[in-house]
A and B are shown apart, each in its own frame.
Chain A
Amino acid sequence: MKKLALATLLAVGLTGCSGSEEPQVLNLYNWSEYMPQEVLDRFTEETGIPVVYTTYDSNEAMYARLKLLDESAAYDLAVPSTYYVSKMRQEDLLMPIDRSKIEGFDNLDPELVNLDIDPDNQYSVPYLWGTTGLAVDTADVDGEVTAWADLWDERFEGRVMLTNDMREVFHVALRVLGYSGNSTNPDEIEAAYEKLTELMPSVRTFNSDAPRMPYLEGETDIGMIWNGEAVMGRDGLPTLEYVYPAEGIIAWLDSFVIPKNAKNPDAAHQFISFVLQPEISALISEDIGYATPNLAARDLLDESVANDRASYPNATDMINAEFQTDIGDEALQVYAKYWEMLKSGQ
């Protein structure tokens, strides 16, 4: 009886709030501050479709929500990073992209399409890409730093920063040991863990919110950083240098995907085409600070941006570079176990 009363109450409240079928909108589910407002405004102006921009702060949270919501998910477009595309594709969370409705796909860098994460780009269209490399504050560090292995140097005790990202941190240790950053071999992962425990006394902090900040705060002198952050960090700390380590950087790619239950897939396709216009892609890259995969856009970029080696690496910088791949669930558990041991200092 009580429950019935409550249910009625709820039902009344609900019908009062859920509106009738709305006209076409675009529900964009994206990282915060990862799309200039100007682009959204211009899209609405051109197509008449309003954009509702909702944000998330990690791939994990985005994935968990899309997966849980399933049928009731109301997102038309999301922007997962690298291997989350393959993960979501394999778990049937995505709608295939209708290439006939996309204009400008040919503008994309051939190096960044048809990757293992999504062969033939059936489910994803690259948006922005970047790398995770070494940051060195040359004001406080003497001598050349060229490799991830240099982090283990004793003179950096208490001055090292790592990203707060399990996969990336293990990636570095695995590369130093000569393994693949996507290793699924438990022995190799354990060896990487052992290697990282040697590094722990040097590690001052983990940061994946804004990895440039510990350098600017003066807390750390050397460590990991994302290239876009390094570019931004130079504004406040001109001596902050972005180094491509000999063992290879970690590369990642954020792509547009359309969730399986999108209500406005047409608007989503329209938006992707809109972003693929060279002029718009260039605008995004200059505003956000990461590299656009749109080759046609690169010619439109400001000289200083286009020639910045941190944002747009040359071919030698990319030697040994590795994209992260989906390592599967079993390996993930092994990583998670060692990560927890590492962080809690055992």
Chain B
Amino acid sequence: MITSPRHLLQIEGMHPPEIETMLDLAESYVLLNRSGKTQRDLLRGRTMINLFFEDSTRTRTSFELAGKRLGADVINMSVSTSSVNKGETLLDTAATLNAMNCDLLVVRHGQSGAPNLLAQKVDAAVINAGDGTHEHPTQALLDGLTIRRRKGRLEGLVIAICGDVLHSRVARSNIHLLTTMGSRVRVIGPPTLIPADAGRLGVEVFHHMKKGLEGADVVMMLRVQRERMSGAGGLVPSPREYFRFWGLDREKLAWAKDDAIVMHPGPMNRGVEIDSAVADDPVRSVIKEQVEMGVAVRMAVLDILARGNRRND
């Protein structure tokens, strides 16, 4: 077993054995969860705080469930970012949390790098639950686990990540994780939603869905924010145009491999980036399975970080 990391801030920089260890452990938690058993002694007496500066339902709930299944005392804190000066509040909050002897701090923040800043100021293990347009590491881990369970491996798979890559922390974390694990990653999207330097991240860039999806084993759709598709700040003209050229429907999915699976981190914009016929396809869509893997992966992450942060042991 390798040395336990102190925080989980980003996938970039992680090595294959670290990722594999987390996925293997998560795998065992999948079985535990399905068996209906719990391991409530593992994090007994530990305090875990969900510190969310951005609205979230599924990620926060998933972390909360993971913490409770391992026996931690879980506290949810929602902090509005609009009312206060962000930088000052973040460090003030860090000082407050430190005084409470928190063990595990799960952070979501609208600014890229906010969890990194917090990690410098608190004694707790910090878990990034999504920061700005930077990373969302547990999402990539749960996506990696879902793919590995369905396809038996990550190495050598052709994985197409489609949509608003420019603003997606899910895309960045997945690009790092999947390229590290030897997958061939492609990104597909309108030229205005793909970062100019995307190719430098070790991926192939496509703008046409047909070319990008050909031979893909996995089709990973990204959520497109409504405000990107209209108004003065719009980067694509309209939802209907987006759906016509980049929305995943049966016709476009047919360009991928016959057994390609469809993923989406949720919440979905049906009829914009994904058609319901594909999203709800019981054979191709693994979107619900992703949610299940989310709890198992977060249990594994909490478990591993708690090992490295045992204050009293």
Partners in one complex: no
A residues contacting B by CB (< 8 A) are none
B residues contacting A by CB (< 8 A) are none
